[in-house]
Amino acid sequence: MAQRPLILLSNDDGVEASGLHALREALMPVGDVVTVAPATEQSAGSHSLTLHRPLRHRALGEHLHSVDGTPADCIYVALYRDAFLPRWPDLVVSGINRGYNLGTDVYYSGTVAAAREAAMRGIPSIAFSCAHKDSLAAAAAVSARIAARTLAQPGHEEGERGSLLNVNYPPRAPFAGVRATRLGKRVYFDEVEVREDPRGREYYWIGGPKAHHEPMDGSDTEAVDEGFVSVTPLQLDTTDAGGLGLAAWVAAVGLCDDDEAGETSDEGGES
Ligand code: MN
């Protein structure tokens, strides 16, 4: 690479989170790092965009910014408001999140969403999550290695494709190694805590206290349970190829009883 890589960094724990700053420091030798992170915590905010109020920006230091929106907002603003980045980034990195993003967590995760927002635009991206603060320093060091390795992936300089990697660190360092994995099954003890406010109305807290991992060979959950760093590739197209037969069978319902093929003709407007 002719010039130093440009890395855009964000997270979902907010601009003050220790995981963000550990990762920022660790990435400095890998490339030029520009940080654009949410002003406040946005964990479990998934991939939401803020479309119904203005977004405010604060410059907090050199190449360190906050935006008072979601992780996806931060990536969007950084990419399309010229003032943030000197050029299109070579890599987008999110984290290091406080806590796992394993299995179906990736649907709720703001950390993964920031990376996904970049991957949707063809930029290689990585989400990093660490289960315990005691292994944060080790996680940051390995994250820098993974970021450098991702930048060196075959075809990267030709801009062939965006890739979205989801990396999780086990609770204890030193880690046993690094494994390529698939999403596992993380099962939460789902519950609704019901309480009453001072005016006698019910209110709820959702989200159970703990999760357990179902055994699955080659999964991210298995890897971290065994002390390994997991590297899971995520795809943007969530079409269920195995469900296309069911979709065709359901589509055959048509719009009305005469429409057995399930497709409307150009003339058949009224129904
Ligand atoms: Mn978080």
The residue extents of the domains of the chain are 6-186+217-238, 242-271
CA of 97 to the centre of ligand 1 (A): 5
What's the gap in Å between 248 CA and the centre of ligand 1?
39
> For residue 271, what pLDDT is reported?
44
Looking at the DSSP assignment, which residues form a beta bridge with residue 187? 212
Q: In this predicted structure, what is the pLDDT of residue 161?
A: 61
Distance between Cα 95 and ligand 1 center (Å)? 8
The domain made up of 6-186+217-238 has a fold known as Stationary-phase Survival Protein Sure Homolog; Chain: A, (3.40.1210)
- From ligand 1's centre to the CA of 92, what distance in Å? 17
Confidence (pLDDT) at 80: 97
Taking the centre of ligand 1 as the mean of its atom positions, its distance from the CA of residue 176, in whole angstroms, is: 24
Q: How many Å lie between the centroid of ligand 1 and the Cα of residue 93?
A: 14
What pLDDT was estimated at residue 191? 86
Instruction: Report the separation in Å between the CA atom of 166 and the middle of ligand 1, taken as the mean of its atom positions.
Output: 14
What's the pLDDT at 2? Answer: 64
How many angstroms separate the alpha carbon of residue 260 from the centre of ligand 1?
Answer: 49
Task: Give 12 Cα–ligand 1 centroid separation in angstroms.
Answer: 5
What per-residue confidence (pLDDT) applies to 184?
96
Blockwise average pLDDT, block size 10, the chain, 271 residues: 88 98 98 98 95 97 97 98 95 97 96 97 96 96 97 69 90 97 91 94 87 93 97 95 97 87 51 44
Distance 131 CA to ligand 1 centre (A): 11
| Whole-number Cα distances in Å, 84 to 32, 37, 63 | 13, 12, 8
> Residue 210 has what pLDDT?
75
Q: Rounded to the nearest whole angstrom, what is the distance from the C-alpha of residue 54 to the centroid of ligand 1?
A: 23
What pLDDT, on the 0 to 100 scale, is given for residue 154? Answer: 77
Please give the distance, rounded to the nearest whole angstrom, from the Cα atom of residue 98 to the centre of ligand 1: 5
CA of 18 to the centre of ligand 1 (A): 11
Say how many Å lie between the CA of residue 99 and the centre of ligand 1.
Answer: 7
Give the pTM.
Answer: 0.91
Distance 50 CA to ligand 1 centre (A): 18
User: Cα(201) to centroid of ligand 1, in Å?
Assistant: 30
